[in-house]
A and B are shown apart, each in its own frame.
Chain A
Amino acid sequence: MSENIKVLEEITSSEYKYGFVTNIESDAAPMGLNEDTIRFISAKKNEPEWLLEWRLKAYRHWLTLEQPTWQNLKIPEINFQNIIYYSAPKKKPQYNSLDEIDPELRDTFNKLGISLTEQKRLSGVAVDAVIDSVSVTTTYKEKLGELGIVFCALSEAVHTHPDLVKKYLGAVVPMTDNFYTCLNSAVFSDGSFVYIPKGVRCPMELSTYFRINAENTGQFERTLIIADEEAYVSYLEGCTAPMRDENQLHAAVVELIALDKSEIKYSTVQNWYPGDKEGKGGIYNFVTKRGICSGVKSKISWTQVETGSAITWKYPSVILKGDDSIGEFYSVAVTNNYQQADTGTKMIHIGKNTKSRIVSKGISAGRSHNSYRGLVEIMKRADNARNFSQCDSLLLGDRCGAHTFPYVEVRNNTGKVEHEATTSKIGEDIIFYCNQRGIATEEAVALIVNGYCKEVLNQLPMEFAVEAQKLLAISLEGSVG
C-alpha cells in the first residue's frame, strides 16, 4: 500500500475529536418502555390530560408497527426495552446570569467551543440549549417577547400556548407516519417551540444546541415551528455528542408550518458521535423532518450538514400545498469509517406554480456507505410545477460506496422535473497532484471538500458556515480529498 493511501486512511480514520462525557446526575425514568414509562414522562412534565392521551395513543399504535427495512442501511437490532426514555439534569436551574450555570456543564460547552458566554456575545444569536432533553437556559427571551415571538421549550409551550400546540402538534408529521415518529410521539422528551406572529421578521437567528449526555438515554426531541402570515424566521440546530461505547437511539421529529407569504429557513449541523474506527458505538439517528408550505407564496428551506452518527436516516421534506410556494433542500452528508447514511428529501407539489430545488452533496470515505434517496411528486392539481435536482457524490478512496435513488412521480403534464447527477472520485492521483503543487494531503482534502460543498455551505448563516467547514475538515482529516 502506498504512502498516500496510508495517510488518507489515517486522516479518514481519525478519532472523534469531540468525545467526552459529562457527569450530570440524571433524574431518569426506569429502563424500558410501557404505559407506565409514558405516564412517568408525562407526569414529570406536568402535562395536561390530552397530551398524555395523545402519547398513549401513539404508543398503542407503535406496538403494532415494525422497524422499517426498505432503506439502504444495515441496522443492528435495537432492543427498545433496553433504553432509558427520559432523563433530566437533577438540579433544574434558574439562572440570572451565565455564571450560575453548573461549572461542569459550562466546561462541556467550552470543550465544544460553543461556550454560552461566547454565544451571548455573538451578535444576534439567541441560544436555547437542550441538555439531556430539558431546556437548561434560554437567552434573549425578552427581546423576542417584545415582538411577540415565542421561542421556548416545547414542554413550556404546552402550558403557555396550549391552543397552538394542540392545533399543530402532529399536524405535519402524523404520529402514525412511521415507526420512529410513532415512538417519538409516545415518549418525546422535549425540544423547541417557535411561533413568529403575523408580519414579524425574526431579527436574529434562533439557535439550539442539542446534546446527548447521560449514558443509555434515547433522545426523542420534538420541535415545532410556526411562521404566521408574512413572517420570517431562520432557525439553527446543531449538535455534538460525547464519546461512548453503547449505541444510542435518536429519533427526533421536526415540524414546520409556513402560512401565507411566510418563510422558514431551517439549518442543521449534525455531528453526533459516529462510532470509533472499527465502527463500534455511535448514534443511530432516525429523524423525521417535514414542513408544510400551507399558505400561498410561502417558502421552506432545509439546509443540512451531516457529519456524525453511525447511522443516519433522514429526509427533510416539504409539502408544497399553497400556490406559488417554494421548497428547498440543500444537503452535505459525510460518511467515514463504517458510518452509514441514507438521506435525502421529498418534495410534494400540490399547489399550482410550486417550485422545488434539491442540491445534495454526498461525501463518502473509509468503508462507509452514503445514499441519496429523493422523491419528487407532482400531484394532479399542481399546474406548472417545477423541480430541479442536483445530486453529486464524492468518493474518497476505493472502499466506500455512494448510491442514489431518485424517484419521480408526475401526475400533471405541465410539470417539469430536471435531474442532474455526478460522481467524482478523489484518489491518490489527485492527492499527489495537490502534493506536487505544495499542498499537503490534509489541506488538499479540505480544499476539495469545501469547494465541492460550497453551494450548500453558502446557504448557512455565516457563523454556522464557519463551524460547518471546521467540522468537515475534522471528519475527513486526511481521507483522500
Chain B
Amino acid sequence: MLKINNLHAKVESKDILKGINLEVNPGEVHAIMGPNGSGKSTLASVLAGRADYEVTEGSVEFMGKELLEMSPEDRAREGIFLAFQYPVEIPGVSTTNFLKTALNEVRKYRGQDPIDAVSFLNLVKEKSKLVEIDPSLLKRSLNEGFSGGEKKRNEVFQMAMLEPKLALLDETDSGLDIDALRIVANGVNKLKNKDNAVIVVTHYQRLLDYIVPDFVHVLYNGKIVKSGTKELALELEEKGYDWIKNPVSA
C-alpha cells in the first residue's frame, strides 16, 4: 500500500532524509527505531505532508496514488493518520467537536453524508472504551491542559475514530505509564486487520512486546541502515546503536 522510493528531504537547506526506501503491505506492522535526530519524525511529517519539509528527490506511492502531490488534508482523507510525537493544544475546540468535523470531512471526501448525532455518539462511546479514555476529557478543549500521557492516549483515540488505512505512531509510547502503555497498545492491536497497516516509531523494545512488528528498521542519519525481524529490536536493546553506526561496510 505504501512504496517509498529513494526519498530525500530537507528543511531549511539542511538535508535530513537521504534516500529512504520502504515498502509496507496491508496487514503489516513495521517498527522504525534509531538514535535521536536520525530523521524518524521527519519521515512521518513528510509522509503526512508538513510544509516545512521540502522533498528534493524520490517518490512515494500510497494505494496506487502519488502521495507527494496531495495536500495534507487529502492525504488524511485517503487514510493516512499521524499520531504526533508532540500533539498540539487547540483552544476552544473540544475533542468531540474536533473529531466530528474531521470525520465529516473524510466522509464528504468519500461522497458520504455527514454522520448523524446518535451514530456519532455511539461511535465515541465504543472507541473511548477501546482505549479507555476518560469521556470527560473529550469535552474539554483538545489537549488543553492534558497530561503528557492523556495527550498520547487521545492520539490513539482519534486514530480509532478515524480508522485509517495507514497509521504512523510517532513515539506514542513515550509518556505513557505502564498500564496505559498496555491499554493503548491493545487498542492499536484491536484496530489492526488484514487491510490496514501500522508504522510505529519507538525507542523501546517494551512497546514491541505488545505491538509485535513484522519488520524492524533502523534509521540512522537519514537512511535505513538495517532492516530485520522483531529480533533486531532485542539486539538493539542489548547492544545500542554503535555497532550499526560505525561499520556500514562491515
The reply to whether B82 and A436 contact each other, CB–CB distance below 8 Å, is yes
Give the distance in Å from the alpha carbon of A2 to the alpha carbon of B92 in the complex: 26
Give the distance in Å from the alpha carbon of A200 to the alpha carbon of B59 in the complex: 72
Instruction: Please name the residue on chain A nearest to B50 by beta carbon.
Output: A432
Given known pairs A3-B51, A4-B51, the reply for A437 and B76 (CB within 8 Å) is: yes
The reply to whether A451 and B92 contact each other, CB–CB distance below 8 Å, is yes
The reply to whether B72 and A432 contact each other, CB–CB distance below 8 Å, is yes
The reply to whether B49 and A438 contact each other, CB–CB distance below 8 Å, is no
CB B182 to nearest CB in A, in angstroms, measures 26
Q: Is the interface of A mostly helix, strand, loop or mixed?
A: helix
Query: Interface 1/0s, chain B 132-155, versus A by CB < 8 A?
Result: 000000000100000000000000
Stretch at the interface among A189-197, A333-341, A383-391, A439-447: A439-447
The reply to whether A429 and B109 contact each other, CB–CB distance below 8 Å, is no
Instruction: Please name the residue on chain B nearest to A448 by beta carbon.
Output: B93
Report, as a range, how many residues of chain A touch the other chain: 20 to 34
B105 lies within 8 A of chain A by Cβ: yes
Pick the contact of B51 from A394, A424, A432, A443 — CB < 8 Å? A432
Instruction: Please name the residue on chain A nearest to B94 by beta carbon.
Output: A451
The reply to whether A452 and B50 contact each other, CB–CB distance below 8 Å, is no
Chain A residues within 8 Å of B105, by CB: 437-440, 443
The reply to whether A2 and B52 contact each other, CB–CB distance below 8 Å, is yes
Give residues 23-77 of B contacting A (CB, 8 Å): 48-52, 71-73, 75-77
Give residues 85-112 of B contacting A (CB, 8 Å): 87-88, 90-94, 97-99, 101-102, 105-106, 109
The reply to whether A451 and B51 contact each other, CB–CB distance below 8 Å, is no
Query: Interface 1/0s, chain A 122-156, versus B by CB < 8 A?
Result: 00000000000000000000000000000000000
CB A329 to nearest CB in B, in angstroms, measures 19
A95 lies within 8 A of chain B by Cβ: no
Give the distance in Å from the alpha carbon of A361 to the alpha carbon of B109 in the complex: 33
Chain B residues within 8 Å of A430, by CB: 88, 90
Give the distance in Å from the alpha carbon of A430 to the alpha carbon of B92 in the complex: 13
CB A117 to nearest CB in B, in angstroms, measures 31
Instruction: Please name the residue on chain A nearest to B54 by beta carbon.
Output: A2
Number of interface residues of B (CB under 8 A): 32
A459 lies within 8 A of chain B by Cβ: no
Q: How many A-B residue pairs have CB under 8 A?
A: 83
Instruction: Please name the residue on chain B nearest to A446 by beta carbon.
Output: B101
Give the distance in Å from the alpha carbon of A454 to the alpha carbon of B93 in the complex: 10
Chain A residues within 8 Å of B109, by CB: 438
Chain A residues within 8 Å of B98, by CB: 434, 437, 447
Given known pairs A433-B84, A451-B92, the reply for A438 and B102 (CB within 8 Å) is: yes
B17 lies within 8 A of chain A by Cβ: no
The reply to whether B76 and A435 contact each other, CB–CB distance below 8 Å, is yes
Give residues 160-178 of B contacting A (CB, 8 Å): 162
B158 lies within 8 A of chain A by Cβ: yes
Give residues 447-473 of A contacting B (CB, 8 Å): 447-448, 451-454
The reply to whether A439 and B73 contact each other, CB–CB distance below 8 Å, is yes
The reply to whether B102 and A437 contact each other, CB–CB distance below 8 Å, is yes
Give the distance in Å from the alpha carbon of A4 to the alpha carbon of B51 in the complex: 6
Pick the contact of A448 from B82, B92, B162 — CB < 8 Å? B92
CB B56 to nearest CB in A, in angstroms, measures 16
- Specify which of A3, A435, A454 lies most central, judged by the most chain B CB atoms within 10 Å of its CB: A435
The reply to whether B76 and A447 contact each other, CB–CB distance below 8 Å, is no
Give the distance in Å from the alpha carbon of A3 to the alpha carbon of B75 in the complex: 16
CB B83 to nearest CB in A, in angstroms, measures 10
A428 lies within 8 A of chain B by Cβ: yes
The reply to whether B162 and A435 contact each other, CB–CB distance below 8 Å, is no
Give the distance in Å from the alpha carbon of A256 to the alpha carbon of B107 in the complex: 49
Give the distance in Å from the alpha carbon of A424 to the alpha carbon of B142 in the complex: 13
Chain B residues within 8 Å of A428, by CB: 51-52
Taking A424-B92, A433-B84, A436-B84 as known contacts, 8 extra A-B pairs with beta carbons closer than 8 A to each other, sorted by chain A number, are: A2-B52, A432-B50, A434-B98, A436-B72, A440-B105, A443-B101, A448-B90, A451-B94
List the interface of chain A (C-beta within 8 A of B): 2-5, 394, 422, 424, 428-430, 432-441, 443, 447-448, 451-454
Task: Give 26 A-B contacts (CB < 8 Å), ordered by A residue.
Answer: A2-B52, A394-B91, A424-B92, A428-B52, A429-B88, A432-B48, A432-B51, A432-B72, A433-B84, A433-B90, A434-B98, A435-B76, A436-B49, A436-B75, A436-B76, A436-B81, A436-B82, A437-B76, A437-B105, A437-B162, A438-B109, A438-B162, A447-B93, A448-B92, A451-B91, A453-B92
